[in-house]
Amino acid sequence: MKQPILVIGICLLSGLAPTTVRASQLPSVITYSDVYTVGDSLVDPGNVYQLIGIPASPPYYEGRFSNGPVWAELLPERLGLTYNPGHNFAYGGSGAGDYHPTGLPFGARQQVTSLIGSDGEVDPNALYIISTGSNDYTTEMIDIPGTVNNILESVNRLSNAGAKNFLVVGIPDVAELPLSSGYSPPELAALSQLSSAHNTLLQSDLTQVSTDRNLNISFLDLVFVLDQIRQRPQAYGLDNAVDACIDINVANIPDPLPEMCSNPDRYLFWDIAHPSRRGHQLLTEAALVSLGYQDRINTIPESRSVVGLLLSTGLGYLLLRKIKKD
């Protein structure tokens, strides 16, 4: 377990000790009417591809930043709903505010504006996924409080329009992604500290927002999720949870392509920054547990062992935490 570290004046905790979860600790299940999504490439179902042809498909799957559907597409059906692509406003490359590397208006702020629409009201019984923040740290201007405030702005704007239920996704530990394999130890440490600072501040602020506005907010801790998978890859149906199946950067795909791994579904990562199809299946499982639907972990290989591991290793505790009013 990582120890508390101090970064930019913020006291950080990047992990929690393993905890056994009792049934009484599980969050109450909410029945949702629909699912809406704003965010970046982790949840983009092909929106950027439809506009500017990125990522190239193939090798990517029908415009996804993976070799299969992303977890935000898989989750609605697992919640007993029908996935509606028109309710997913995510654009790969977008930041938590206005940022998008193309300069086009694809940031999360614009996505929320599109979601709310002209009538200014949203479905109060739907689930709203917010998965953004990583791309804000790819620029020279690193502003953790500003990025977190932009995420909170999305929550507040949707809440003002009537939203009550949220699944907010933290950023991964960038130091543990394949793209960071050539970095020095000090550089890796700095990246880990950055991810921890962001997630710690975000969770703290979400707790306050949830209390002030009486919202149901679940937090999906990608740092802990991916760390648990890396520690026990075979238990999650994987052979490799470290390397990319195909060593490419979506923004600069070489021709010819480098050799691809022989079995992508045994890899956690598709490229140097994004999960594989199997990785997205596992994120779907994690999201279900986070929302209290652990009884629906039953549709992919090793799924029963997955939920057992989630609950017995403490990952269940982290995923099942509801940021909610005391």
**DSSP assignment, residue 88?**
B
The dihedral sign for the CA sequence 209, 101, 135, 251: positive
> How does residue 141 score in pLDDT terms, banded at 50, 70 and 90?
confident
Spatial separation of the C-alpha atoms in residues 32 and 72, rounded to whole Å: 15
Check pLDDT > 50 for residue 14. Answer: no
**DSSP assignment, residue 249?**
B
pTM of the predicted protein model: 0.85
The dihedral sign for the CA sequence 267, 269, 270, 271: negative
Spatial separation of the C-alpha atoms in residues 256 and 246, rounded to whole Å: 12
At 247-286, the pLDDT tens digits run 988 877 877 888 999 999 999 999 999 999 999 999 999 9
Check pLDDT > 50 for residue 48. Answer: yes
At 191-200, the pLDDT tens digits run 999 999 999 9
For 194, the token pair is 């950055």
Q: Given this model, what pLDDT does residue 254 score?
A: 79
Which amino acid is it at 110? Q
Which amino acid is it at 113? T
By CB atoms closer than 10 A (0-12, 13-18, 19+), residue 171 is buried
For 324, the token pair is 């909610």
DSSP for 252-276, please give it. B--SSPPPPPS-GGGEEESSSSSB-
Sheet holding 216-220, edge to edge: 35-39, 127-131, 165-169, 216-220, 322-323
Alpha-carbon distances, residue 204 vs 132, 217, 291 (angstroms): 17, 12, 19
In which region does residue 9 sit, left (phi positive, over 0), alpha (psi from -120 to 50) or beta (all else)? left
Write out the E strands in 34-97.
35-39
Please give the average per-residue pLDDT across 278-298, as a whole number. Answer: 86
Spatial separation of the C-alpha atoms in residues 292 and 316, rounded to whole Å: 10
At 216-258, the pLDDT tens digits run 999 999 998 999 999 999 999 999 999 999 998 887 787 788 8
- Cβ within 8 Å of residue 307, ≥6 positions away: 285, 289, 294, 297, 316
Check pLDDT > 50 for residue 180. Answer: yes
Print the SS3 string covering 144-192.
HHHHHHHHHHHHHHHHHCCCCEEEEECCCCHHHCHHHCCCCHHHHHHHH
DSSP for 301-324, please give it. TTHHHHHHHHHHHSHHHHHH-EE-
What is the dotted CATH code of the domain comprising 5-323?
3.40.50.1110
The answer to whether residues 109 and 98 touch, using CB atoms and an 8 Å cutoff, is: yes
Spatial separation of the C-alpha atoms in residues 194 and 317, rounded to whole Å: 23
Check pLDDT > 50 for residue 159. Answer: yes
Please give the average per-residue pLDDT across 303-317, as a whole number. Answer: 45
For the chain, give the percent of residues with pLDDT over 70.
Answer: 81
Helix (H, G, I), strand (E, B) or coil at 27: coil
Spatial separation of the C-alpha atoms in residues 296 and 281, rounded to whole Å: 13
At 56-113, the pLDDT tens digits run 989 999 999 999 999 999 999 999 999 999 999 999 999 999 999 888 889 999 999 9
